[in-house]
Amino acid sequence: MMLTPTPPLDFSLLPLPAIHFGVGRFSELAELAATFGKGKNILVVTGNTALQRSGRLTELMESLKNEGLCPCHLAVDREPSPELVDAAVSEYRSLAIAVVLAVGGGSVLDAGKAISAMLPCGLPVERFIEGQEGFMQHDGRKVPFIAVPTTSGTGSEVTNNAVISRVGRNGFKRSLRHAAFVPDIALIDPVLMVSVSPELTAASGMDACTQLLEALTSPFATPYTDAITCSGLECFGCSFLSACTDGSGDSALRADIAYAALMSGIALANAGLGIVHGFASSVGGLIDIPHGTLCATLLAEATRENIFQLRAIAESHPALQKYAKAGDILSGVTDRDVHAGCERLMETLEEWQELLAFPRLRTFGLALDDLDGVVAATRSKSNAVQLDDAAMKRILSSRL
């Protein structure tokens, strides 16, 4: 199927980290960290369970010491809040941290990224969070940052933002953002993902899939981001279900999903995201729901609504062609028919939703009475098509 080029060819690209991808690359991490200066303090940010249980945290701390670094450790057990970031900055600022190294899932990477951005700054992080009262643009100064994902989902290892949240009736889930916040080094070792549970593999994987689809169909997509998203979707479609089930211990399958997540991060940073991630901010600020789970439960219905709205505009709409292309890639069937490709995409997403039993929003406390407020707070300028309030409510209510 031929995709309609995106006119005009006029775009800018964010910088990328130095990317080190491959099985066994974790062993190179201490040497890479030491390039920022031997004899200096390094802050290691991790989750508080898996890395310790595996023995890799102890191995990492010893290898950092052997490289002449002085490591200190911060464990993060939830999505970073302003209070968590400010407390960490207050505790470690006096140590003249030379580099921040985050090893973990998306929340850990976001925490590390935010801490690296705020260590040189004398103000609370909330002053620099988009959409917050008194918002100030950050000047981009940071401590060098190394990102090592242990799940395959957010792509935070290559993005320029850190998601900060405070959950509740007056809560929020928004970004601390600057082009300079792209990590200096991203190291992706699929072996780190082998022990991830099937449930987390599915949820984080669907985050990556959502990012690939939303970046592909974004009005701000370019031939560059199209190529990246399609490449990511090819690997994702080949290995996702197996990685969530009987192939969970296969590092080659894990590498495919890790690659898809990496491509999704590059794509979203340059093309933006759609309505599912719009809901991630509004719903995620109201109820305590894991980000990947939210993406997993909403993607099929949001895609269906987008396709319905696009068909009402024009059956030849470029975004429909891209949805069809995604359907061809994920299903492995190509017949150059846009309508059939879109239907295959929907069938694939709904099959995954059923097979992997993605939980409904009510499981986490979202109620019908909440929908008007959620819709009013939802913004999504990069969605494939402009959605009105009724369309957004249909998406949410279908997954209550």
pLDDT mean across residues, the chain:
94
According to the model, what pLDDT value does residue 122 have? Answer: 87
Q: What is the pLDDT of residue 229?
A: 98
pLDDT at residue 232 in the model:
98
> Strand, helix or coil at 143?
coil
Residue 7: pLDDT band with limits 50, 70, 90? low
* pLDDT interval class at 3 (50, 70, 90): low
Q: How confident is the model at residue 9 (pLDDT cuts 50, 70, 90)?
A: confident
pLDDT over 70, % of the chain: 98
In whole angstroms, what is the distance from residue 296 CA to residue 370 CA?
A: 20
Is residue 293 over pLDDT 80? yes
Task: Find the mean pLDDT for residues 15-27.
Answer: 96
Domain 25-188, classified CATH 3.30.70.3270, yes or no: no
Instruction: Give helix 198-216 / helix 275-286 axis angle, nearest 10°.
Output: 130
- 45 CB-contact burial (10 Å; exposed 0-12 / middle 13-18 / buried 19+): buried
> Within 67-217, where are the H helices?
82-92, 106-118, 198-216
pLDDT value of position 5: 54
What pLDDT, on the 0 to 100 scale, is given for residue 168?
81
**How many residues appear in the chain?**
400
In the 8-state DSSP scheme, what is residue 359? P
Confidence of residue 72 (pLDDT cuts 50, 70, 90): very high
Q: Using one digit for the tens of pLDDT, what is the confidence trace for 117-130?
A: 999 998 999 999 99
Confidence of residue 4 (pLDDT cuts 50, 70, 90): low
Give residue 169's pLDDT.
80
Average pLDDT over residues 97-115: 97
For residues 16-45, give the mean pLDDT.
96
Average pLDDT over residues 23-48: 95
Q: Whose CA is closest to 243, among 187, 294, 194, 206?
A: 194
Q: Residue ranges of the domains in the chain?
A: 25-188, 198-398
Beta bridge pairs of residue 261: none
pLDDT (0 to 100) of residue 49: 77
Nearest to 385 by CA among 298, 311, 316: 311
pLDDT band at residue 185 using 50, 70 and 90 as cut-offs: very high
Asked, colleague to colleague, whether 25-188 and 198-398 share their fold, the answer is no
CB 110 within 8 A of CB 156: yes
Exposure of 93 in the CB half-sphere (CA atoms within 13 A): 14
Helix 318-331 to helix 198-216 angle (10° resolution) is 150
Q: What is the pLDDT of residue 36?
A: 95
> What's the average model confidence in pLDDT over 61-71?
97
Residue 96 confidence (pLDDT): 94
Domain range 198-398, CATH class: mainly alpha
Residue-wise pLDDT for 315-369, tens only, equals 999 999 999 999 999 999 888 899 999 999 999 999 999 999 999 999 999 999 9
Provide the CA 160 distance to its chain's centre, in angstroms.
11
Average pLDDT for 54-58: 91
pLDDT computed for residue 335 by the predictor:
82
Total-model pTM = 0.94
